[in-house]
Amino acid sequence: PCPIRIEKVGKTFDNSLQAESPYILRGVDLVVNTGEFFILLGPSGCGKSTLLNLIAGFINPSEGILRLGEQKIEKHGKERAMVFQNAESSLFPWLSVRENVEFGLRMKGIPHKERQRISDQYIGMVGLTGHEHKFPQELSGGMKQRVQLARVLANDPAILLMDEPFGALDAMTRRSMQKELVRIWQQTVKTIVFVTHDIQEALLLGQRIGIMSLGPNSRITDIYDVPLAY
Ligand code: ADP
Ligand code: ADP
Protein backbone atom coordinates (compact mmCIF):
# COMPACT_ATOMS: atom_id res chain seq x y z
CA PRO A 1 0.00 0.00 0.00
CA CYS A 2 2.88 2.47 0.39
CA PRO A 3 5.68 2.38 -2.15
CA ILE A 4 8.50 4.85 -1.64
CA ARG A 5 8.69 7.54 -4.32
CA ILE A 6 11.70 9.80 -4.57
CA GLU A 7 11.66 12.60 -7.15
CA LYS A 8 14.58 14.88 -8.04
CA VAL A 9 15.88 14.86 -4.50
CA GLY A 10 18.94 16.87 -3.60
CA LYS A 11 20.66 17.32 -0.26
CA THR A 12 23.18 19.84 0.92
CA PHE A 13 24.29 20.33 4.51
CA ASP A 14 24.63 23.88 5.77
CA ASN A 15 28.06 23.18 7.21
CA SER A 16 29.31 21.52 4.02
CA LEU A 17 32.90 22.37 3.12
CA GLN A 18 32.53 21.48 -0.54
CA ALA A 19 32.24 25.08 -1.70
CA GLU A 20 32.03 24.49 -5.45
CA SER A 21 29.35 21.89 -5.43
CA PRO A 22 27.78 21.68 -2.04
CA TYR A 23 25.28 18.97 -2.93
CA ILE A 24 25.93 15.50 -1.49
CA LEU A 25 22.96 14.15 -3.45
CA ARG A 26 21.41 15.71 -6.54
CA GLY A 27 18.70 14.53 -8.91
CA VAL A 28 17.93 11.31 -7.06
CA ASP A 29 14.95 9.49 -8.59
CA LEU A 30 13.70 6.18 -7.27
CA VAL A 31 10.55 4.14 -6.74
CA VAL A 32 10.69 1.22 -4.30
CA ASN A 33 7.66 -1.05 -4.53
CA THR A 34 5.74 -2.53 -1.63
CA GLY A 35 7.27 -5.79 -0.42
CA GLU A 36 10.44 -5.29 -2.42
CA PHE A 37 13.96 -6.00 -1.14
CA PHE A 38 15.87 -3.04 -2.59
CA ILE A 39 19.63 -2.51 -2.27
CA LEU A 40 21.42 0.82 -2.39
CA LEU A 41 24.97 0.02 -3.45
CA GLY A 42 27.82 2.49 -3.75
CA PRO A 43 31.28 3.41 -2.51
CA SER A 44 31.82 4.69 1.00
CA GLY A 45 30.98 8.38 1.28
CA CYS A 46 28.69 8.50 -1.78
CA GLY A 47 25.63 9.43 0.27
CA LYS A 48 23.87 6.12 0.95
CA SER A 49 23.30 6.87 4.65
CA THR A 50 22.13 10.35 3.77
CA LEU A 51 19.55 8.97 1.35
CA LEU A 52 18.39 6.41 3.93
CA ASN A 53 18.10 9.17 6.55
CA LEU A 54 15.96 11.14 4.10
CA ILE A 55 13.66 8.13 3.59
CA ALA A 56 13.51 7.71 7.36
CA GLY A 57 12.53 11.36 7.71
CA PHE A 58 15.44 12.01 10.08
CA ILE A 59 16.56 14.83 7.77
CA ASN A 60 14.77 16.94 5.15
CA PRO A 61 15.64 17.18 1.46
CA SER A 62 17.10 20.48 0.21
CA GLU A 63 15.17 20.02 -3.03
CA GLY A 64 12.80 17.51 -4.59
CA ILE A 65 10.25 15.38 -2.80
CA LEU A 66 10.00 12.02 -1.04
CA ARG A 67 6.64 10.28 -0.71
CA LEU A 68 5.21 7.20 0.95
CA GLY A 69 2.25 6.37 -1.26
CA GLU A 70 0.55 9.73 -1.71
CA GLN A 71 1.88 11.19 1.53
CA LYS A 72 4.90 13.43 1.78
CA ILE A 73 7.44 11.77 4.07
CA GLU A 74 7.28 13.12 7.59
CA LYS A 75 9.53 12.80 10.56
CA HIS A 76 9.60 9.58 12.55
CA GLY A 77 6.63 7.93 10.85
CA LYS A 78 5.70 4.73 12.61
CA GLU A 79 5.62 2.78 9.34
CA ARG A 80 9.42 2.98 9.07
CA ALA A 81 12.15 1.61 11.30
CA MET A 82 15.91 1.79 10.98
CA VAL A 83 18.48 -0.89 11.71
CA PHE A 84 21.95 0.58 12.16
CA GLN A 85 25.40 -0.86 11.60
CA ASN A 86 26.28 -0.66 15.24
CA ALA A 87 23.79 -2.18 17.67
CA GLU A 88 26.04 -1.02 20.50
CA SER A 89 24.68 2.49 20.28
CA SER A 90 21.03 1.56 19.83
CA LEU A 91 20.44 -1.00 22.61
CA PHE A 92 19.72 0.13 26.15
CA PRO A 93 22.56 -1.31 28.25
CA TRP A 94 20.48 -1.37 31.44
CA LEU A 95 17.67 -3.41 29.84
CA SER A 96 17.70 -7.17 29.25
CA VAL A 97 17.25 -8.69 25.79
CA ARG A 98 13.53 -9.12 26.43
CA GLU A 99 13.12 -5.61 27.81
CA ASN A 100 14.98 -4.16 24.82
CA VAL A 101 12.75 -6.04 22.38
CA GLU A 102 9.61 -5.02 24.32
CA PHE A 103 10.59 -1.36 24.63
CA GLY A 104 8.50 -0.07 21.71
CA LEU A 105 5.56 -2.28 22.65
CA ARG A 106 5.64 -0.88 26.17
CA MET A 107 5.64 2.66 24.75
CA LYS A 108 2.52 1.75 22.79
CA GLY A 109 0.86 0.54 26.00
CA ILE A 110 0.51 -3.07 24.89
CA PRO A 111 -0.34 -5.21 27.92
CA HIS A 112 2.22 -7.49 29.59
CA LYS A 113 0.93 -10.87 28.28
CA GLU A 114 0.70 -9.66 24.71
CA ARG A 115 4.14 -8.03 24.90
CA GLN A 116 5.60 -11.28 26.08
CA ARG A 117 3.95 -13.24 23.28
CA ILE A 118 5.27 -10.83 20.64
CA SER A 119 8.79 -10.64 22.07
CA ASP A 120 8.96 -14.45 22.35
CA GLN A 121 8.02 -14.68 18.68
CA TYR A 122 10.72 -12.30 17.44
CA ILE A 123 13.42 -13.43 19.87
CA GLY A 124 12.76 -16.91 18.47
CA MET A 125 12.83 -15.65 14.90
CA VAL A 126 16.35 -14.23 15.31
CA GLY A 127 17.57 -17.32 17.16
CA LEU A 128 17.97 -15.85 20.65
CA THR A 129 15.59 -18.06 22.61
CA GLY A 130 17.21 -18.80 25.97
CA HIS A 131 19.04 -15.47 26.08
CA GLU A 132 16.04 -13.32 27.10
CA HIS A 133 17.43 -12.36 30.50
CA LYS A 134 20.93 -11.43 29.40
CA PHE A 135 22.11 -7.84 29.14
CA PRO A 136 23.77 -6.32 26.05
CA GLN A 137 27.27 -6.41 27.58
CA GLU A 138 26.94 -10.20 27.94
CA LEU A 139 26.30 -10.65 24.21
CA SER A 140 28.56 -10.91 21.16
CA GLY A 141 28.34 -8.32 18.38
CA GLY A 142 26.24 -10.66 16.25
CA MET A 143 23.82 -11.34 19.09
CA LYS A 144 23.43 -7.63 19.77
CA GLN A 145 22.65 -7.11 16.10
CA ARG A 146 19.98 -9.85 16.37
CA VAL A 147 18.43 -8.10 19.37
CA GLN A 148 18.29 -4.86 17.40
CA LEU A 149 16.60 -6.66 14.51
CA ALA A 150 14.10 -8.38 16.85
CA ARG A 151 13.23 -5.06 18.47
CA VAL A 152 12.61 -3.39 15.13
CA LEU A 153 10.52 -6.33 13.87
CA ALA A 154 8.46 -6.45 17.08
CA ASN A 155 7.25 -2.94 16.29
CA ASP A 156 5.96 -4.31 12.97
CA PRO A 157 6.97 -1.48 10.63
CA ALA A 158 5.89 -1.75 6.99
CA ILE A 159 9.31 -0.55 5.86
CA LEU A 160 12.70 -1.67 7.17
CA LEU A 161 15.60 0.70 6.52
CA MET A 162 18.94 -1.02 7.05
CA ASP A 163 22.25 0.85 7.05
CA GLU A 164 25.05 -1.70 6.58
CA PRO A 165 23.48 -3.72 9.39
CA PHE A 166 25.96 -6.60 9.10
CA GLY A 167 29.04 -4.55 8.24
CA ALA A 168 30.65 -4.93 11.65
CA LEU A 169 30.15 -8.70 11.91
CA ASP A 170 32.63 -11.49 11.20
CA ALA A 171 32.11 -13.37 7.93
CA MET A 172 30.38 -16.44 9.44
CA THR A 173 27.95 -14.42 11.53
CA ARG A 174 27.27 -12.09 8.61
CA ARG A 175 26.38 -15.03 6.37
CA SER A 176 23.95 -16.48 8.91
CA MET A 177 22.33 -13.08 9.53
CA GLN A 178 21.93 -12.56 5.78
CA LYS A 179 20.14 -15.91 5.46
CA GLU A 180 17.97 -15.06 8.44
CA LEU A 181 17.01 -11.68 7.03
CA VAL A 182 15.93 -13.24 3.73
CA ARG A 183 13.83 -15.78 5.63
CA ILE A 184 12.23 -13.02 7.74
CA TRP A 185 11.59 -10.91 4.64
CA GLN A 186 9.88 -13.89 2.95
CA GLN A 187 7.77 -14.57 6.05
CA THR A 188 6.73 -11.04 6.89
CA VAL A 189 6.51 -9.43 3.43
CA LYS A 190 8.15 -6.18 4.45
CA THR A 191 9.57 -3.55 2.16
CA ILE A 192 13.31 -3.38 2.77
CA VAL A 193 15.78 -0.72 1.70
CA PHE A 194 19.23 -2.06 2.49
CA VAL A 195 22.42 0.00 2.21
CA THR A 196 25.76 -1.67 1.52
CA HIS A 197 29.09 -1.05 -0.22
CA ASP A 198 29.61 -4.83 -0.54
CA ILE A 199 28.76 -6.09 -4.05
CA GLN A 200 28.63 -9.71 -2.94
CA GLU A 201 26.11 -8.88 -0.21
CA ALA A 202 24.05 -6.84 -2.66
CA LEU A 203 23.85 -9.73 -5.14
CA LEU A 204 23.01 -12.20 -2.40
CA LEU A 205 20.14 -10.25 -0.87
CA GLY A 206 18.57 -7.86 -3.33
CA GLN A 207 15.76 -8.16 -5.84
CA ARG A 208 16.86 -4.87 -7.37
CA ILE A 209 20.09 -3.00 -6.88
CA GLY A 210 20.39 0.76 -7.29
CA ILE A 211 23.96 1.91 -7.97
CA MET A 212 24.97 5.28 -6.56
CA SER A 213 27.76 7.31 -8.09
CA LEU A 214 30.52 8.78 -5.96
CA GLY A 215 29.63 12.34 -4.99
CA PRO A 216 29.33 15.26 -5.02
CA ASN A 217 25.98 15.40 -6.81
CA SER A 218 25.62 11.68 -6.22
CA ARG A 219 22.53 10.02 -7.68
CA ILE A 220 21.27 6.58 -8.63
CA THR A 221 22.85 6.00 -12.02
CA ASP A 222 21.69 2.43 -12.75
CA ILE A 223 19.19 -0.07 -11.45
CA TYR A 224 19.68 -3.80 -11.96
CA ASP A 225 17.25 -6.67 -11.52
CA VAL A 226 18.92 -9.56 -9.73
CA PRO A 227 18.11 -13.19 -10.44
CA LEU A 228 17.32 -14.35 -6.90
CA ALA A 229 20.09 -16.37 -5.33
CA TYR A 230 17.74 -18.05 -2.84
P1 ADP B 1 27.77 6.70 2.76
O2 ADP B 1 26.66 6.22 3.60
O3 ADP B 1 27.60 6.34 1.31
O4 ADP B 1 29.11 6.26 3.26
P5 ADP B 1 27.12 9.30 3.82
O6 ADP B 1 25.71 9.54 3.44
O7 ADP B 1 27.40 8.88 5.20
O8 ADP B 1 27.78 8.29 2.74
O9 ADP B 1 27.97 10.62 3.53
C10 ADP B 1 28.04 11.21 2.23
C11 ADP B 1 28.79 12.50 2.34
O12 ADP B 1 28.01 13.42 3.06
C13 ADP B 1 30.10 12.40 3.08
O14 ADP B 1 31.02 13.25 2.43
C15 ADP B 1 29.77 12.88 4.47
O16 ADP B 1 30.88 13.45 5.11
C17 ADP B 1 28.71 13.94 4.16
N18 ADP B 1 27.75 14.13 5.26
C19 ADP B 1 26.88 13.21 5.72
N20 ADP B 1 26.13 13.71 6.73
C21 ADP B 1 26.55 15.00 6.88
C22 ADP B 1 26.18 16.06 7.75
N23 ADP B 1 25.23 15.91 8.69
N24 ADP B 1 26.82 17.24 7.62
C25 ADP B 1 27.80 17.42 6.70
N26 ADP B 1 28.19 16.45 5.85
C27 ADP B 1 27.58 15.26 5.92
P1 ADP C 1 28.31 5.32 7.12
O2 ADP C 1 29.59 4.61 6.80
O3 ADP C 1 27.14 4.42 7.24
O4 ADP C 1 28.08 6.47 6.24
P5 ADP C 1 29.17 7.25 9.02
O6 ADP C 1 29.88 6.95 10.32
O7 ADP C 1 29.92 7.85 7.90
O8 ADP C 1 28.49 5.90 8.60
O9 ADP C 1 27.91 8.20 9.30
C10 ADP C 1 27.05 7.93 10.36
C11 ADP C 1 26.07 9.08 10.48
O12 ADP C 1 26.76 10.33 10.63
C13 ADP C 1 25.18 9.24 9.28
O14 ADP C 1 23.86 9.45 9.72
C15 ADP C 1 25.68 10.47 8.55
O16 ADP C 1 24.63 11.21 7.95
C17 ADP C 1 26.34 11.26 9.65
N18 ADP C 1 27.55 11.93 9.14
C19 ADP C 1 28.46 11.42 8.30
N20 ADP C 1 29.41 12.32 8.01
C21 ADP C 1 29.10 13.43 8.72
C22 ADP C 1 29.69 14.72 8.84
N23 ADP C 1 30.79 15.06 8.17
N24 ADP C 1 29.10 15.62 9.67
C25 ADP C 1 27.99 15.29 10.31
N26 ADP C 1 27.36 14.09 10.23
C27 ADP C 1 27.90 13.18 9.43
Give the tens place of pLDDT for each residue, 78-101.
788 888 888 777 899 999 999 999
Q: What percent of the chain has pLDDT over 90?
A: 70
Q: How far is the CA of 225 from the centre of ligand 2 (A)?
A: 28
| Residue range 109-138: mean pLDDT, rounded | 95
> Could you tell me which of 214, 224, 154 has the C-alpha nearest to residue 18?
214
At residue 20, the pLDDT reads 64
At residue 15, the pLDDT reads 62
Ligand 1 interacting residues, C-beta cut-off 6 A: 13, 15-16, 24, 42, 44-50
Q: Is the pLDDT of residue 18 over 60?
A: no
Q: How far is the CA of 115 from the centre of ligand 2 (A)?
A: 34
pTM of structure: 0.85
Q: Is the pLDDT of residue 61 over 60?
A: yes
pLDDT tens for each residue of 129-151: 999 999 999 999 899 999 999 99
DSSP 110: -
Confidence of residue 104 (pLDDT cuts 50, 70, 90): very high
Mean pLDDT of the chain: 90
Side-chain half-sphere CA neighbours of 148 within 13 A: 28
Cα separation, 123 vs 146, in Å, equals 8
DSSP 161: E
- Atom index in ligand 2 nearest the CA of residue 164 equals 3
Q: Residue of the nearest CA to atom 8 in ligand 2? A: 49
Cα separation, 60 vs 204, in Å, equals 31
pLDDT tens for each residue of 174-217: 998 899 999 999 988 789 999 999 999 999 999 999 999 997 89
Complex confidence, ipTM = 0.69
Strands 23-32 and 4-12, how do they pair?
antiparallel
Q: Is the pLDDT of residue 74 over 80?
A: no
Side by side, the strands of the sheet bearing 80-83 are 80-83, 159-163, 191-196, 37-41, 208-212, 220-225
At residue 17, the pLDDT reads 60
At residue 90, the pLDDT reads 86
